């Protein structure tokens, strides 16, 4: 077919201008026309040619462009093959060849790309998202939910019994000092007068001394060491078991420590004071709760608490190997607390 110059005419299709070029040109001539059309207006239509692409080197064809819902799709035809061009609307960015290719993909294909981004190039995944957005298949993100209220930090109320017991020991010590007892080295007679675990009086019926001895201390240093140990274990244990169980464990462990001390020193006698038996009982209860997971803690938390408690117990026994230390009360309190943890943990509601 002889080559002819391009002929133009304007008409309307669905409200959009249509321009048809009817001719037959070789590929180089078509490339020249595309170059001329790019960025130029079609006569009288106001439609700008956008990104133009043709496929597989057609040797002769006709070109027709018609309006669409998103830009303008142009079919380039030859008797045996078809290519596709993309023409943009005024004021719109032209679509890239990649976007045009993705426009022919099904929703399922596009969703597969977006759901497996690690298997594809980022540009392909982004093009799939863009096409899904264009089709209205991807909803706009919903407004973020309001942030959850912050979890309240446990306050002093969570260790109220622990603080109360430490305060009781301090109050008794201050009363002793106010009554004339030496704050650094109280005499044995002073301790007996204030309610120590003195064997001759206990076996005569003054059993209350088994408990009052737990609130007495043999000097300021003794009080400070026991207070520190009580605050450490109480702050860990009371939030787990609650106030009532902690108070029961403390009192019964102190009683167990005093009885162990009394029994250990028979047929002799002992004059013993201190809260260490009751405090060791709290450590024993913690060992049982963490070893059996009665407190229903995570494995890392259980392991940390168990090792920490075991270390403190071992350190106390190691540093306590000196005259004047009532090891029987310590061991008795530790065993009492460890055994009491079993019944006390029944039906326990974990608070931490």
Phi, psi (deg, nearest 5) at residue 254: -60, -40
Query: What does the alpha-carbon distance between residue 109 and residue 97 come to, in Å, rounded to a whole number?
Result: 18
Contact between residue 327 and residue 320 where contact means Cβ atoms under 8 Å apart: yes
Three-point CA angle 92, 31, 100, nearest 5°: 40
Query: What does the alpha-carbon distance between residue 317 and residue 333 come to, in Å, rounded to a whole number?
Result: 13
Catalytic (active-site) positions: 276, 330
Could you give the count of Cα atoms lying within 13 Å of 140 in the half-sphere of its Cβ? 1
Q: How many CB atoms lie within 10 A of CB 12?
A: 10
Q: How many CB atoms lie within 10 A of CB 79?
A: 7
Task: Give me 284's structure tokens.
Answer: 């024993």
Nearest to 169 by CA among 276, 267, 265: 276
Q: Give every CB contact of residue 287 below 8 A, 6+ residues apart in sequence.
A: 306, 309, 310, 313, 338
């Amino acid at each position: 077919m002889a080559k002819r110059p391009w002929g133009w005419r304007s008409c309307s299709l669905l409200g959009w201008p249509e321009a048809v070029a009817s001719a037959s040109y070789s590929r180089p001539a078509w490339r020249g026309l595309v170059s001329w059309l790019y960025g130029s207006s079609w006569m009288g239509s106001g439609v700008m040619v956008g990104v133009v692409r043709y496929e597989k080197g057609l040797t002769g064809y006709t070109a027709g462009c018609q309006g669409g819902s998103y830009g303008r799709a142009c079919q380039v035809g030859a008797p045996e093959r078809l290519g596709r061009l993309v023409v943009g609307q005024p004021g719109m960015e032209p679509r890239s060849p990649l976007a045009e290719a993705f426009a022919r993909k099904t929703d399922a294909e596009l969703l597969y790309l977006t759901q497996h981004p690690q298997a594809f190039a980022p540009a392909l995944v982004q093009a799939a998202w863009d096409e899904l957005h264009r089709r209205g298949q991807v909803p706009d993100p919903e407004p973020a939910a309001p942030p959850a209220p912050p979890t309240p930090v446990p306050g002093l109320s969570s260790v109220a019994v622990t603080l109360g017991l430490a305060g009781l020991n301090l109050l008794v010590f201050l009363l002793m000092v106010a009554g004339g007892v030496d704050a650094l080295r109280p005499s044995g007679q002073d301790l007996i007068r204030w309610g120590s675990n003195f064997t001759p009086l206990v076996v005569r019926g003054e059993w209350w001394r088994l408990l009052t001895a737990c609130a007495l201390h043999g000097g300021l240093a003794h009080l400070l060491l026991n207070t520190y140990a009580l605050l450490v274990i109480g702050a860990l244990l009371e939030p787990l078991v609650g106030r009532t169980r902690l108070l029961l464990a403390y009192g019964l462990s102190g009683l167990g420590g005093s009885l162990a001390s009394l029994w250990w020193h028979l047929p002799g006698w002992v004059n013993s004071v201190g809260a260490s038996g009751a405090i060791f009982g709290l450590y024993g209860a913690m060992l049982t709760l963490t070893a059996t997971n009665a407190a229903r803690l995570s494995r890392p938390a259980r392991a940390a608490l168990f090792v920490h408690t075991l270390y403190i117990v071992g350190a106390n026994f190691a540093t306590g190997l000196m005259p004047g230390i009532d090891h029987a009360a310590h061991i008795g309190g530790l065993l009492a607390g460890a055994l009491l943890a079993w019944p006390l943990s029944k039906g326990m509601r974990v608070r931490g």
